[in-house]
Amino acid sequence: MNLKIKPIAGLIRTRDHIDRTLRSQGFACRASHPPVYDIRIQDSASGVAYRLRIPIQAHSLTNSGKKGSMVRLGTPRISRNNGGSQLNQEVPSAIMEAANHKIAEIASYLNNPTIQK
């Protein structure tokens, strides 16, 4: 399921900066195709777990003058953590809100040049 806000989709940063930022926010990098960062969000009311996933892909900038490999963030998605008959069930609004807040927080870190090292 797509999230309502996507302020990070399309951002291009160094792989190290994205990795450091997302890992500091509790995300883990999964080796898939494309590579994806994900974090588990649990609904405390029902006990159901969801995954917020942010895919990345290699990106090359010409004449950028930046060191390190560059990656582009993909569109964040949220889905139920485990399969089953309720896989297509609507994601609760509280989980969507938590995911949107997490994305906004990450966007703030990635867009703030004073935080970049």
CATH number at residue 77: 3.30.310.100
Report the candidate in 80, 33, 77, 72 with the shortest Cα–Cα distance to residue 56. Answer: 72
Residue 93: which domain range? 12-111
In a domain, 33, yes or no: yes
| pTM passes above 0.75 | yes
In a domain, 5, yes or no: no
Instruction: Please state, in angstroms and rounded to a whole number, the distance separating the CA atoms of residues 108 and 111.
Output: 5
In a domain, 4, yes or no: no
In a domain, 1, yes or no: no
Q: What's the confidence (pLDDT) of residue 115?
A: 54
- Cα distance from N-terminal residue to C-terminal residue, the chain: 33
* Count of domains observed in the chain: 1
pLDDT tens-digit profile, the chain (117 residues): 556 665 788 899 999 999 999 999 999 998 887 899 999 999 988 889 999 999 999 887 654 555 568 999 999 999 888 754 455 568 888 999 999 999 999 999 998 866 544
Instruction: Please state, in angstroms and rounded to a whole number, the distance separating the CA atoms of residues 117 and 112.
Output: 11
Q: What's the confidence (pLDDT) of residue 63?
A: 47
